[in-house]
Amino acid sequence: MSHISSSGLNTPESELESLVPVHPTSARRPYSLVVQSENTSYSDEYITSKFTNRGADVVVSDGQFIVTPTSKPYEFQTARKVSKTGLMLIGMGGNNGTTLCATVLANRHNISWHTKSGAQQPNYIGSMLRASTVRLGMDASGKDVHVPVSDVLPMVHPDDLVIGGWDISGVPMDQAMKRAQVLDWDLQRQVAPHMARIGKPLPSIYYPDFIAANQEARADNVIPGQDKQEHLERVREDIRRFKRENDLDRVVVFWTANTERYSDIIPGVNDTADNVLASIKKSHSEVSPSTVFAVAAILEGEPFVNGAPQNTFVPGVIALAERHNSFIGGDDLKSGQTKLKSVLAEFLVNAGIKPLSIASYNHLGNNDGHNLSAEAQFKSKEISKSSVVDDMVSANALLYKPAEQGAVKGSKAAKGEHPDHVVVIKYVPAVGDSKRAIDEYYSEIFCGGRSTINIFNECEDSLLATPLILDLTILTELLTRVKYRDASAQAEFAPLYPVLSLLSYMLKAPLVKPGTDVVNSLNRQRNALEAFLKACVGLEGSSDLLLETRIW
Nearest of 44, 45, 29 to residue 160 by alpha carbon: 29
Diameter of the chain measured on Cα atoms: 79
Dihedral of CA atoms 529, 533, 538, 539 in degrees, nearest 10, equals: -60
Contact 47, 77 (CB under 8 A): yes
Strand order in 202-203's β-sheet? 202-203, 162-167, 85-90, 250-255, 304-306, 328-330
Taking a C-beta distance cutoff of 8 angstroms, is the pair 158, 107 a contact? yes
CA distance 148 to 78: 19
Cα–Cα distance for residue pair 454/438, rounded to 1 Å: 7
CB 392 within 8 A of CB 346: yes
Backbone phi, then psi, for 176, in 5-degree steps? -65, -40
Catalogue the active-site residues. 332, 381, 435, 508
Contacts for 277 with CB less than 8 Å, ≥ 6 apart: 295, 316, 320
Count of beta carbons in the 10 Å neighbourhood of residue 347: 14
Cβ pair 364, 436 in contact under 8 A: yes
Q: DSSP letters of 157-187?
A: -GGG-EEEEEES----HHHHHHHHT-S-HHH
- Rounded CA separation 297/237 (Å): 10
Contact 335, 174 (CB under 8 A): no
